[in-house]
Structure 1
Amino acid sequence: MIIDITGPDVPLHFQVTTPEPARPVATAPAAGDTPPDYDYYMPRLGTKYRKKLGLTAQQVEWLDKFWPPQNVFIAIKGCCLATMRLYLQVLPALETALQSTGASLAQVVSAAQQEALRGRRAAPNPYGHSWNDYDERYLQEQIEATIYSTIFRRCENVVREAYGNKRKLAAEFSGMDAALAAELEKQLGPPLDALLPGLVTSIHAPDEATELALNLQNVTRWKQQLDQLAEALSPSTSAAFVAGVNQLGQRNARNPALENIFFEASKLVAKYDREHALRFYVQYVYHDLNSVTINSKPLAKTIQKSLFPQPDQLQRFEALVSQLVQDKDLAQALAQVPAVYARQRRKIELDLGAIRAVQHQHAGTVELLNEYLQDEPEPAVAPVPNPVAVPAVSETQPDEEIQLTVAAPAPAPAVPTTTTSGAFAAAWGLSATQQALLARFGEQALMLPQAEVEAFARQHGALRNQLIDSINEQCYEQLDDVLIEEDGDTYTIYASYYQQLATPC
């Protein structure tokens, strides 16, 4: 009651009605969507996507039962479409499941509406007047919308799980009497729980735009996907792992945690592919430099030891990383990674002045020796050539080996290309497995296919790369070079190096 003080004391009677809920603010539709009716309100999902998805009248009605959800997951168009498709698959299946019990979804909704009306009529109106038809119609619409929106939310939770989003929505029948909510859960909960898991395989995989948006929302989403790639990682699948990590990096291009993907991938693939492990670490350094916080995390010492069996390899890689930090040229750094493991040839430089000096110093001795040899009565003895023969010096590349022919009083035995003895000097410190593999090299002309080395390593409980690296590391200090070289699909050993193995150091 309100008293008007501007005139006679006459009470003014008025009626308070339940306000209509606020309508969502209209926004511009996406290309291909149904434009909203700006004179009234933004369309619901069925009306909005009727033409784009080719929906039937029944499907439009199902989607228009409730107002579109407002959350960051459904705001991504690909996630919204995936949830809608699952929802439209579940409802016919749910209808079939209910009919097997002698009911239908429409009957369940109608029964819930009638129960809500009975409870409403029994309760006093807080506004002091009786419930009218408008109030009851609004209540019925609210109950129906709650039932269908709850089913939609449960579909959304399944899509969230499939898309790697661990944050779930509350999907209970809320906004009604507790007893009514419990009855709805009893009728609809079990069939929904039985149907939804079987429809997971029908959910479309997210497209690239959806992947980018999801990874930006959840900056740790990549961990689950990297774990899945790591589960299938093996020597034969390392190429697939590398391709998967590169794709994962592209899909997280806007993720502030991008550098961590490459750091973890570098550790995982280190024991299977050294070059790709270095490439991933180079990408980690690059993206770390461009992040808000520079961490500069080093690889563990055990991983470094497996990646760099020779000290000079580690030095070359450290120089590569230092150059990347200075110029931030990722493409150039990645292109230089193979050079870390490239064989460094020792250069031979000839001092022509010293050679001529030796020739001049021993010229008389050579002439006298030639005279003695010419007076030798036995014709079978061949004359001894000049002890120091100066080869023709031509311009060569720095890495080419220059062959010197040095005569001696007795010709040196030719270096054998193979050996089957398997006996190696103890000073090299080779294990029985290492010696057995080297003996097999000797039996096969110092060349073995990678597949044969792989089989040998498995027989002896070792990994191929670790076995080769351990031999090279054991012999490097005395050879000052790599003993076993990888050449395409084979491993080879220089004959001169192999001969030294049987020579006491």
Structure 2
Amino acid sequence: MIIDVTGQDVPLRFQVTVSVTEPVRSPAPATSYTPPDYGYDMPKLGKQYRKKLDLTPQQVEWLDKFWPPHNVFIELKGGCVATIQLYLQALPALETAMQRKGASLAAVVAQTQEESLRLRKTTPNPYGYSWNEYDEGYQRDQIEATIYSTIFRRCENVVREAYGHKRKLAAEFTGMDGALAAGLEMELGQFLDALLPSLAATISAPDEATELALNLQNVTRWKQQLEQLAAHLSTTTAEAFAEGVQQLGQRNARNPALENIFFEASKLMARFDREAALRFYLQYVYHDLNSVTINNKPLAKTIQKSLFPQPDQLQRFEAIINQLVQDKNLPQALSQVPTVYARQRRKIELDLGAIRAVQHQHAGTVELLNEYLQDEPETTAAPVSIPPLAPFVSEALPEEEIQLAVLAPAPVVTTTSGAFAAAWALTATQEALLARFAAQELTLPQAEVEAFARQHGALRNQLIDSINEQCYERLDDVLIEEDGDTYTIYESYYQQLATPC
């Protein structure tokens, strides 16, 4: 623009001059403008995974029918790849199933596009807008994208179910007239829903990275997996269950509900392996201490009773927990679990002064006895004398290691069922098992005890624990002790069973 600043009424005259050094160029002919493609749009799934999954041109075209969905599941590489693979299997199977009924996927898509255009054009437009070729092409693309993206979402829901991700997507045919959506469901949706359950078996298991991410997205996902492990607990070994729980814990390392996995596993394991149950509970305590909120949940009283038949066992385990709370040394706490059920030997403190006093008091009697034995002419046996007591060390000695030289070992009592003192209040099954111990020198293999328990409709551990509980109050100790693959009863304890109280 030129602004006149002269103040004169005569307009200024201008003309365009051309430099003699630069030739005049004729204007370029008018052409249609095409904006450059800078690749700013997010690439579609076909372009993203063409090389990664070695896709065919047809598969790339199927994936590029719609824009990639945006959700936390598809953002996981493992979830996205599994959904793509199921989608690319479902489309050929869907086409085959429709052709058996005289239809095809392409025909259904084309028919829906034309019907949608017809309905749009016949709908009155308050703005007087008229349709053109661009509008028609855009509408056709939208209908096609809606159909293929709905198929993709239904495949994603199947993968979510297989991966234990309970949050589902809405997967209806939307963005079109209600009658068209209902027709698509009849002509297309029913075929797809019938095919997907059979194709679900081909879904690959999630890798470790996907497991960690899924468990962080869904903090209760572990419950279903723990239930699956527990369903086979009665038929598999305790070691296999424990290994499965440890793997489940590793996959939930970033899950804020990690400690609950070990707490529930402890309750499940209490019926099958007491030491494994205690190890799970210690891991619960450890992870609970390192969580945001410390819950400190105790085991139920019934479970405590089954885990700790004797009160001192519970006391020893509580001491391990208290130490774990102080130092948070989980490996050390786990290594101490066997000590909870280790047999605690009763100690006898010997008073050295009292022993010497008794020796001095009966010294004359021993000398007189030796004189009588020496004066006896008819005996051929060597004179018997009571040897002086050897000096005792100051520390306590186990009762079983104290033996008198003048006493011969007592024979094993082989009483039969029914010969036990009534005060012990033993059942017929308990007496029968104790009689079997007596018949085999008070030692039985665990396998034999297991077979005996099954014959009498009981569980091995429960039968052993019931006998120990029944006798503990009088013996102040465990009657039947587990020793590797065998059970053993101390002879002195067994003899007390037949002694009237």
TM-score normalised by L of structure 2 = 0.88
Asked whether the 8 Å contact 1:347–1:401 carries over to 2, the reply is no
* Counterpart residue number, 1:30: none
Deviation string 1:164-215 (CA, Å, 9 cap, x unpaired) is: 1222111110000111111111111121111100011100111111111111
Pairwise CA distance, 1:419: 1.4
Q: Distance in 2 between matches of 1:367 and 1:52?
A: 102
Instruction: Note the 1:92-103 alignment, pairs <5 A.
Output: 92-103=92-103
* Counterpart residue number, 1:455: 451
Asked whether the 8 Å contact 2:346–2:399 carries over to 1, the reply is no
Q: Distance in 2 between matches of 1:401 and 1:467?
A: 26
Change (3 A) 1:134 1:125: farther
Q: Distance in 2 between matches of 1:312 and 1:61?
A: 72
Q: Distance in 1 between matches of 2:380 and 2:416?
A: 34
Q: Distance in 2 between matches of 1:335 and 1:126?
A: 81
Pairwise CA distance, 1:368: 1.1
* Counterpart residue number, 2:157: 157
Deviation string 1:436-468 (CA, Å, 9 cap, x unpaired) is: 111111112212111111111111121110110
* Counterpart residue number, 1:24: none
* Counterpart residue number, 1:28: none
Pairwise CA distance, 1:375: 2.1
Q: Distance in 2 between matches of 1:297 and 1:317?
A: 15
Identity of aligned residues (%): 77
Q: Distance in 1 between matches of 2:221 and 2:472?
A: 44
Q: State the one-letter code of the partner of 1:158.
A: V
Stretch deviating more after TM superposition (482-491 or 270-279): 482-491
Asked whether the 8 Å contact 1:416–1:499 carries over to 2, the reply is no
Q: State the one-letter code of the partner of 2:401.
A: I
Instruction: Note the 1:75-474 alignment, pairs <5 A.
Output: 75-125=75-125, 127-234=127-234, 236-380=236-380, 383-386=383-386, 389-391=388-390, 393=392, 401-405=400-404, 407=406, 414-417=409-412, 419-422=414-417, 423-474=419-470
* Counterpart residue number, 1:492: 488
* Counterpart residue number, 1:5: none
Pairwise CA distance, 1:270: 0.2
* Counterpart residue number, 1:21: none
Q: State the one-letter code of the partner of 1:432.
A: A
Asked whether the 8 Å contact 2:348–2:396 carries over to 1, the reply is no
Asked whether the 8 Å contact 1:391–1:405 carries over to 2, the reply is no
Q: Distance in 1 between matches of 2:49 and 2:236?
A: 46
Pairwise CA distance, 1:44: 0.5
Q: Distance in 1 between matches of 2:410 and 2:451?
A: 29
For the residue of structure 2 that corresponds to 1:82, the secondary structure is: helix
For the residue of structure 1 that corresponds to 2:487, the secondary structure is: strand
Q: State the one-letter code of the partner of 1:56.
A: T
Any gaps of 5 or more consecutive residues in structure 2? Answer: 1-36
Stretch deviating more after TM superposition (208-217 or 236-245): 236-245
Larger Rg: 2
Change (3 A) 1:130 1:309: same
Change (3 A) 1:146 1:235: closer
Change (3 A) 1:420 1:504: closer
Asked whether the 8 Å contact 1:475–1:482 carries over to 2, the reply is yes
Change (3 A) 1:136 1:436: same
Pairwise CA distance, 1:376: 2.5
Q: State the one-letter code of the partner of 2:333.
A: A
Pairwise CA distance, 1:76: 1.2
Q: Distance in 2 between matches of 1:213 and 1:384?
A: 83
Asked whether the 8 Å contact 1:235–1:272 carries over to 2, the reply is no
Change (3 A) 1:153 1:126: farther
Pairwise CA distance, 1:499: 1.9
Q: State the one-letter code of the partner of 1:97.
A: A
For the residue of structure 2 that corresponds to 1:379, the secondary structure is: coil
Deviation string 1:271-298 (CA, Å, 9 cap, x unpaired) is: 1100011111111111111222211111
Asked whether the 8 Å contact 1:50–1:60 carries over to 2, the reply is yes
Asked whether the 8 Å contact 1:476–1:482 carries over to 2, the reply is yes
Q: State the one-letter code of the partner of 1:288.
A: D
Change (3 A) 1:61 1:480: same
Q: What RMSD in Å do the two structures reach over aligned CA positions?
A: 2.0
Deviation string 1:412-431 (CA, Å, 9 cap, x unpaired) is: 7x422361533212222211
Find out whether 1:58 has 2:54 as its counterpart: no
* Counterpart residue number, 2:475: 479
Asked whether the 8 Å contact 2:352–2:392 carries over to 1, the reply is no
